[in-house]
């Protein structure tokens, strides 16, 4: 007896449940910028992309810290489900 995943592979398709298991709901953020203004612009763009991807409110735990003459954007974004996280990750490419 074939499984659904096997049957789908035979027609060049993959069952979405075999790709998304629901466990990866967060994305780490780790970027460095030459100015605070660049870091703040990146955070604003990141926030916009999060809001476009979310269905339920996502938690954005990202901060800007100064390290020498550079500014570090560090933290994570947590979504209510893996599909939202995947959509967000794709928007970053």
User: What local confidence, expressed as pLDDT, does residue 2 receive?
Assistant: 47
User: What local confidence, expressed as pLDDT, does residue 14 receive?
Assistant: 61
Interacting residues of 51 by C-beta distance below 8 A, sequence separation 6+? 58
pLDDT digits (tens, 9 = 90+) for 63-92: 999 999 999 999 999 999 999 999 999 999
Percent of the chain surpassing pLDDT 70: 78
Distance CA 65, CA 39 (A): 9
CA angle 83, 56, 26 (to 5 degrees): 50
pLDDT-derived band of residue 46, with 50, 70 and 90 as boundaries?
very high
As a whole number, the mean pLDDT across the chain is 87
CATH fold of 23-91 reads Alpha-Beta Plaits (3.30.70)
Q: What are phi and psi of 31, to 5 degrees?
A: -140, 150
For the chain, which residues make up each domain, given as ranges?
23-91
CA angle 19, 86, 20 (to 5 degrees): 20
């Amino acid at each position: 007896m074939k499984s659904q995943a096997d049957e789908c592979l035979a027609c060049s398709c993959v069952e979405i449940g075999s790709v998304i298991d629901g466990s990866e709901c967060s994305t780490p953020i780790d970027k460095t910028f030459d100015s605070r203004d660049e870091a703040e612009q990146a955070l604003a763009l990141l926030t916009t992309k999060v809001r476009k991807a979310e269905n339920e409110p996502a938690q954005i735990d990202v901060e800007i810290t100064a390290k020498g003459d550079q500014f570090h954007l560090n933290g994570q974004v947590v979504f209510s489900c893996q599909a939202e996280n995947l959509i967000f990750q794709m928007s970053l490419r």
